[in-house]
Structure 1
Amino acid sequence: MTSAQAELWDVSRLRFEEAPPPALTTGQRTAMDRRWAAAVRANPTLFDGPVAALTGLGRDDAGGLSVSWTRLTYRYRFLREIPDAPSVSGLFVAVLQPDGDGRLLVGRMSPTTSAPGRWQPPGGTLEPPVAGAVLDLDVLRRHAARELAEETGSDTPADALVPGPVVRDTRGGVGFLFTAPPRPARELRERYAESASAETASGANPEFDRVELVGSRPELRSLQGTVASYLELVAGRFFGA
């Protein structure tokens, strides 16, 4: 389930349906485990935590989006490298955090993350709800608020996040966007600095090793390093291009 280019969709209705995990052959599971072990040797901070993974997607002419998902762990991302293995893509949330001048906050992923050096909005891979619970917009919103707080120090409550478009990145991952209320630029920078310092002092590594406020697509392109494949498309919409 891959896409040649990122896409941005306006969605009027979301529907989620939980599906069973994909069936793997012994060879596919062994190959996946070997790739995961190699990744951990290269980056020992990687954690095989729970994720909600995309298994199917359907759109209708009325703007509805149906999402089939399943409970997996991070190692299943390596299935995309194994020929003839079941197709599994990621689900994620992202928060557009503007400052008072209409600029967007973006962060650079630290070297200990799975995407070192990549610029992206605050957010992250979607974790599944507790067993027996449904996945819905409220779960997405709460997860987005938690990611925003963890990565930037901003304490925006979940119910203040406004749902926005849905994106599909170039690897087939699907992301749910939310917009946070504007905050002064100085406050955003100070909250990030305080949060990052506290994490470092506790022996943890902040997910963002740097943040910037960008006010246009050219400013986004000028950042040193890679940029999330969907971010320029989102920025174009946000800045009115």
Structure 2
Amino acid sequence: MTSSLPAPSNRLEVLEVDTLRLVETPSPTLSPEHRAAMDQQWTKAVHANPDLFDGPAVVCTATGYDGDALVLSWAPVTYRRFVLRRVPGAPRVSSVFVTVAQPTDTGGLVVGRMSASTAAPGRWQLPGGNVEPPAGTGVLDEAELRSQACRELAEEVGVHAAPKDLTLWAITRGENGNIGVHFEAPPLPQRTVRERYEELVQAEKTAGRTPELDRITVVDGDPATELEGPRADYLDALLHRYTGRADE
């Protein structure tokens, strides 16, 4: 029997999950007025940041439990749908994203700061990004989420992990009802992570591209004292969750 989760609150929630099941639903319809407002806001956003790309993305349309499984209903959209958050009275837009908690041999986790060309410049977060619909006849399931999480880790940090080596670590629901699916990777030496990141940055600059993360660091204590600047809404809770586990 499936039961719905309570409506999203303004605070971060860490959802208790044993298994995750994803169900595709039709894309939410928009009124002509909201669609026009969305297109207008998107034009303004691209004018302010020409690096924005209206590529494929996923929104969360509902969440609920079926026994021990979290059922996440999703729909395919494009990135411009998210600018509806700037339109008063527009329907709620909840994104779905993945991250990777990459431990190091020093006992901390790798976090990165978003570069100026991204949608959230200066924000600290775990390596990751918004989930995209599967290509072709593919299925969006936990295995696909692992693959996308590995791709984000490689694109942002230069670390190549195998999807089978990731474990589902936590699921969060935060601002705007956004759903974060967080995986944990096997630990690596901190020196190795930094070397691979520097190699990635050099390769991106040589190709004339801006790295998605302009800085990485390893946090093994209080993020409020170790990180200067804005942080993803889930970051403090998950860092405390990790360091608390390490202290047990």
Q: Which of the residues 53, 57, 60 maps onto 1:51?
A: 57
**Contact map agreement 2:111 2:217 (CA 8 A) in 1:** yes
Task: Supply the distance in 1 between the matched residues of 2:116 and 2:74 (Cα, whole angstroms).
Answer: 29
Q: Which of the residues 223, 241, 244 maps onto 1:240?
A: 244
Task: Supply the distance in 1 between the matched residues of 2:213 and 2:206 (Cα, whole angstroms).
Answer: 15
The Cα offsets for residues 189-218 of structure 1, whole Å up to 9 and x where unpaired, read as: 1110110111011011100000001101x2
- Unpaired segments ≥5 residues, structure 2: 1-6
TM superposition shift of 1:155? 1.2
**Contact map agreement 1:122 1:152 (CA 8 A) in 2:** yes
Q: Which of the residues 14, 29, 48 maps onto 1:42?
A: 48
2:37 is the alignment partner of 1:31: yes
The Cα offsets for residues 32-70 of structure 1, whole Å up to 9 and x where unpaired, read as: 00001000000000000000111111135x432111110
Calculate the aligned-residue CA RMSD, in Å: 1.5
- Unpaired segments ≥5 residues, structure 1: none
Q: What is residue 206 of structure 1 aligned with on the other side?
A: 211
Please give the TM-score of this superposition, normalised by the length of structure 2.
0.92
The Cα offsets for residues 61-95 of structure 1, whole Å up to 9 and x where unpaired, read as: x4321111101000000222323433221000000
2:180 is the alignment partner of 1:158: no
The Cα offsets for residues 82-125 of structure 1, whole Å up to 9 and x where unpaired, read as: 23433221000000001002111000000000000000000000
Change (3 A) 1:220 1:198: farther
Task: Supply the distance in 2 between the matched residues of 1:19 and 1:158 (Cα, whole angstroms).
Answer: 26
Task: Supply the distance in 2 between the matched residues of 1:161 and 1:222 (Cα, whole angstroms).
Answer: 26
Q: What is residue 10 of structure 2 aligned with on the other side?
A: 4
Q: What is residue 77 of structure 2 aligned with on the other side?
A: 72
**Contact map agreement 1:55 1:87 (CA 8 A) in 2:** no
Amino acid at match of 1:225: G
Task: Supply the distance in 2 between the matched residues of 1:28 and 1:53 (Cα, whole angstroms).
Answer: 17
Task: Supply the distance in 1 between the matched residues of 2:231 and 2:125 (Cα, whole angstroms).
Answer: 6
Q: Structure 1 residues 8-17 or 152-161, which shifts more?
A: 8-17
Task: Supply the distance in 2 between the matched residues of 1:2 and 1:109 (Cα, whole angstroms).
Answer: 26
Please give the TM-score of this superposition, normalised by the length of structure 1.
0.95
Q: Which of the residues 102, 112, 131 maps onto 1:126?
A: 131
Q: What is residue 227 of structure 1 aligned with on the other side?
A: 231
Task: Supply the distance in 1 between the matched residues of 2:92 and 2:137 (Cα, whole angstroms).
Answer: 24
The secondary structure found in structure 2 opposite 1:68 is strand
Task: Supply the distance in 2 between the matched residues of 1:203 and 1:184 (Cα, whole angstroms).
Answer: 29
TM superposition shift of 1:2? 4.9
2:84 is the alignment partner of 1:82: no
Task: Supply the distance in 2 between the matched residues of 1:169 and 1:197 (Cα, whole angstroms).
Answer: 34
2:102 is the alignment partner of 1:97: yes
Task: Supply the distance in 2 between the matched residues of 1:145 and 1:177 (Cα, whole angstroms).
Answer: 11
- The number of residues matched between the two structures is 239
Residues 105-184 of structure 1 aligned to structure 2 (within 5 Å) = 105-184=110-189
**Contact map agreement 1:214 1:220 (CA 8 A) in 2:** no
The secondary structure found in structure 2 opposite 1:89 is coil
